């Protein structure tokens, strides 16, 4: 594995890459089993002759909360080892100064899919995501890129960016990797206290119970109410949102609607100072 920190080094490393497919896996670091699944999928897509490029970059532009940025876990050496273990060919680990000019003035903003869920609650977040991913696409020139479905809205927005800006890249979504308890694996989980880790799996359990109720005939409004009441019983939490939307357009459902899928039942919940997101897809 070749480890680089500058754009010049990255270009030099990619000049010698072989094979028809170059697969990119962008990450913010603090890598875990979920990231390992993305990297293994990338290796499979690239094949033995292709090139897998992983980036580890804690992107300051997508954070709307300075405290969240400052406390985000950082484990660069462990990250590098996991990348090597998973067959990464080139690991790009730039600094913010390497990625962004001090007087940068360009933005890449999606204005439809980002109006709901996390887009509504975190102004500027997805613009920051789109900016850094578009830069990585330009630097790496991948044929494919791999993202986790845990960040369902992010993946949808990036698919729209690829479509609307005519990037010749195929995006691949990998299902959410979960702990045995059902808790979605996330870099932020390591900041949870012991007690919070006991209660955190109840978020996914509430969403599954809500989805089952909807499939059984409950309206969208009643489904959201069921999930909300279940989450409210979890100690030490406060709800950021619980919403039910069309999973392709992210348009909200009518209050008394019972529409056919694909739908998304999603929630963001604060466990103390840690914000966790999760969702359940309803496909029928």
Q: Annotated active-site positions, please?
A: 35
CB under 8 Å to 52, separation ≥6 — which residues? 23, 25, 39, 42, 43, 46, 87, 88, 89, 90
Quote the tokens at residue 128.
């920051």
Count CB atoms within 10 A of the CB of residue 119: 21
């Amino acid at each position: 594995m070749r480890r680089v920190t500058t754009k010049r080094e990255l270009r030099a490393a990619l000049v010698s890459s072989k094979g028809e497919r170059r697969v990119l896996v962008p990450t913010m670091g603090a890598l875990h089993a979920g990231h390992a699944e993305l990297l293994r999928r990338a290796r499979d897509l690239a094949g033995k002759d292709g090139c897998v490029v992983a980036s580890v970059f804690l992107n300051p532009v997508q954070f709307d909360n300075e405290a969240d940025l400052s406390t985000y876990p950082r484990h660069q050496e462990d990250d590098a080892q996991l990348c090597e273990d998973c067959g990464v060919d080139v690991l790009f680990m730039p600094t913010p100064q390497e990625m962004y000019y001090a007087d940068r003035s360009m933005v890449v903003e999606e204005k439809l899919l980002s109006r709901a869920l996390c887009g509504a609650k975190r102004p500027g977040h997805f613009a920051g995501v789109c900016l850094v991913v578009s830069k990585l696409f330009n630097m790496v020139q991948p044929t494919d890129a791999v993202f986790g479905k845990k960040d369902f809205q992010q993946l949808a927005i990036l698919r729209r960016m690829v479509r609307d800006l005519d990037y010749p890249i195929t995006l691949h979504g990998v299902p959410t990797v979960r702990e045995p308890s059902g808790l979605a694996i996330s870099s932020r989980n390591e900041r949870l206290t012991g007690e919070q880790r006991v209660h955190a799996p109840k978020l996914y359990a509430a969403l599954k119970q809500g989805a089952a109720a909807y499939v059984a005939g409950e309206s969208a409004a009643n489904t959201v109410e069921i999930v909300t009441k279940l989450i409210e019983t979890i100690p030490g939490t406060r709800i950021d949102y619980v919403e039910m939307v069309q999973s392709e357009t992210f348009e909200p459902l009518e209050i008394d609607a019972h529409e056919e899928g694909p739908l998304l039942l999603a929630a963001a919940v604060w466990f103390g100072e840690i914000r966790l997101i999760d969702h359940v897809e309803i496909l029928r």
